[in-house]
Amino acid sequence: LCGAVFAPPKLADFILTERLGSGTYATVYKAYRKANSREVVAVKVVSKKTLNKASTENLLTEIEILKTVRHPHIVQLKDFQWDAENIYLILEWCSGGDLSRFIRSRRILPERVAQRFLQQIACALQFLHDRNISHLDLKPQNILLSGSVLKLADFGFAQYMSPWDEQSVLRGSPLYMAPEMVCRRQYDSRVDLWSVGVILYEALFGRAPFASKSYSELEEKIRSNQPIELPPGARVSKDCRDLLLRLLVRNPDSRITFAEFFTHPFVDLEHMPSAESIVKAKELVLQAVQKDQEGERSAALSLYCSALEHFVPAIHYETDRQRKDALRQKVSQYVSRAEELKALVASDYKLSFEEARTSRDVLRGKERCSAAHIHSVQSLGQVGFLSVCDSESQALERFCGSFHIRHKQHDRRSYSSSWKLSHVFNKQLNDKHVREVCAEL
């Protein structure tokens, strides 16, 4: 009898095998296409008997949304079919399971890994937000892994919602549900931002901020007016802490906005690993080479540094081993040239001040120096020779690691780009644990 209950249904073009999970209205199976390709897919089977008016509308909206969206961080709907008993959604297969299982298997994630995952979630949310789509059920169980790539899944509660639209129907999972959904029963698209905050919190600390032993305890925490606090002794960066506390604000009117979220320095979508990373890097390198040939040293140095900010995520994004190694070699060459330019610019800068005869001349000399010129030379004597044999992480760390040493002693604006460069390289390359975890993905 039990075998009959859980026996997978028959589908014309697919062979359904193991059951991956089930919910109130649907069961998900791993399946193979019967054609020669033997393509692996996930099939979401929705029993018509379980559908009421609301769930039918949700299913139709889910199909409509997934049919129209194509994004590298959203699970793709390949097809949908139906018969007398069931409706079948044939979905992209994600072999890595869900984010919840990934977090549990490691207890907590290093901040760098959590940030990489957050960037991918933010990229998908930006795509949806631009199309007035709200997910409304964001949680680790609904985020799947395909290799090291995250994909938003289960759009069963998703809705088309303009920024001014409000809903009153309770949707989602209480542990990840924004307080306004539970307390006010009136909410808008900003509930997705709260859920992102809970997911990031859980990834970093191993539990959700409202983790409880019972539903009554959970409800009490949700309805409380106490601000969310990070665990005692939490070791996270300033940017990470700032983002968490702005996402997990109970009052949606005081919560970080979507525009602020997408441009937040911890999210840093501009430098997330993507197909565009290499394109941006190459464009900047071409400009750097041109300026270098024209003898504009400080401008060339600044452009090389900007290019390297994009080359690092490009290396992370590249999956082909040969192309990855080729990129590493290129990066090593660019770092070496940038190091040479930095020494030359420093020499020019020092000479210009030695030639100054009065304090007024010195002041005028400072005013004539571009920000790129100033920040590129402050670490003279701090950084050693860069061997072309160094890995990109070692080389870039040595090249960029001391750019911000004297940050507090000078005008912040002069150092903004150099500090950011050091910050990017440190956070992406210097954590050995990050590399080990990412290698497991």
> If you average pLDDT over residues 167-171, what whole number do you get?
54
pLDDT at 186: 80
For residue 85, give Cα distances in angstroms to 50, 93, 303, 429: 10, 24, 61, 52
For residue 103, give Cα distances in angstroms to 141, 202, 336: 10, 8, 39
Residue ranges per domain, the chain?
2-92, 99-270, 273-440
CATH domain 99-270 topology: Transferase(Phosphotransferase); domain 1 (1.10.510)
CATH class of 2-92: alpha beta
**395 contacts 331 by C-beta, under 8 angstroms:** yes
Instruction: Output 321 or 385, whichever has higher pLDDT.
Output: 321
Residue 83 annotated as catalytic: no
Say whether pLDDT at 294 is over 80: yes
Instruction: Tell me the chain's radius of gyration from C-alpha atoms.
Output: 26
Q: How far apart are CA 228 and CA 244, in angstroms?
A: 9
pLDDT at 163: 62
Q: Give the residue among 122, 119, 141, 118 at the shortest CA–CA distance from 130.
A: 122
> If you average pLDDT over residues 112-133, what whole number do you get?
95
The model carries a pTM of: 0.74
pLDDT in tens, 322-345: 988 999 998 999 999 999 999 888
pLDDT in tens, 50-101: 888 888 988 999 999 999 999 999 999 999 999 989 999 999 999 999 999 9
In CATH terms, is domain 273-440 a member of 1.20.58? yes
pLDDT at 301: 92
Q: Name the phi and psi angles at 403, rounded to 5.
A: -60, -30
Q: How far apart are CA 65 and CA 238, in angstroms?
A: 37
pLDDT at 319: 80
Say whether pLDDT at 415 is over 60: no
Residue 175 CB contacts under 8 Å (≥ 6 apart), including other chains: 139, 198, 208, 210, 211, 218
pLDDT in tens, 7-51: 788 888 899 999 998 877 889 999 999 887 789 999 999 999 888
pLDDT at 170: 52
> If you average pLDDT over residues 401-409, what whole number do you get?
35
One of 83, 98, 137, 253 is an active-site residue; which one? 137
pLDDT in tens, 239-255: 999 999 999 999 999 99
